[in-house]
Structure 1
Amino acid sequence: HTVAVRVKLARRVEIEEVREAFASFTSLPQELKLHSAPAQPIIVRDEADRPQPRLDRDAGCGMSVTVGRIRPDNVLDYRFVALSHNTVRGAAGAAILNAELLAATGWMTGRKGRRGDGETV
C-alpha cells in the first residue's frame, strides 16, 4: 500500500521534529522484542523520490513502514508518503505479529494483560 497523507498537528513543529517522531517511533512489539516485529517499525527516507514500492516494500523484511517526501503543506501542516508491503505487513505479517503479541502479553494463557516482566499492559 502507498498512501499520500496530509496532517494538521495540535501544535506548530519544525519539519525535523516530524521526521524524528517517525524515525524514533517504537511500540510494545519492539519493547518485547517479538520475532516478527521489525527493530525499526518506521523507516524514514530523505530522497525526493522515495518511498517507492519496488525499492522499499521489503524494508524491515516487509514489516516496516517506509515514510518519505515529508514536507510542509499549504493547507494543513505537513504532507508525506507512506508505504508498506500489502501481504507481509498487511494480512499475513500482521496476523502473525498480533498472535505473538497476544501470546507475549498473556492473552492466550489466561494471564492477560501482562508483559513478561509482570507489568500490566
Structure 2
Amino acid sequence: DLVRVTKNSGMAMFGIGLSTAPVGQRINEAAEQAMNSPFLDVDISISKGVLLSIQGGKDLMLEEAATALDLVKKRVGEKTEIIMGTSLDYSMNGKVQILILATGVKTKYDVRPGPGKGYGEDIDSVS
C-alpha cells in the first residue's frame, strides 16, 4: 500500500492526530488534528494519494474508522486515491491515533536536492 501511494507521486507529507476523548468525539478530534498537523503543512485537497492509518485499542469501532475515512474524503480531491488501514493495540484502549500520509502535494518550503546551508559540513558545525 505504501509503495502504491508513493510511487511516482512527488512530495509526501504526513500528519498525526491522537485523541483520548469519549467514543463519538475522539475520531473527529484525531482526524482534525492529523489533517491540521504542523507536519502536514500543505493543502491536501490537491494530493494524488493518501494513506490513512487508524490505530486504537480493542474499543475501536468500525464506524469510527468509516467516519475518519469520510472526513478525509471531504478534504481531498475526488481523484485522490485513499488507502485505509486499521490496527489494534491493546495498550491504546480509550485512545485513537490517526496518521495521514499525503502524496503529490506542494509545499511552500524549498526542498530541492542539492547544496544548501551546511552542505558538506559536519553536523556539529551547522548553525
TM superposition score normalised by structure 1: 0.30
- The structure where strand makes up a greater share of residues is 2
TM superposition score normalised by structure 2: 0.30
**Greater RCO (Cα-Cα under 8 Å, separation 6 or more):** 2
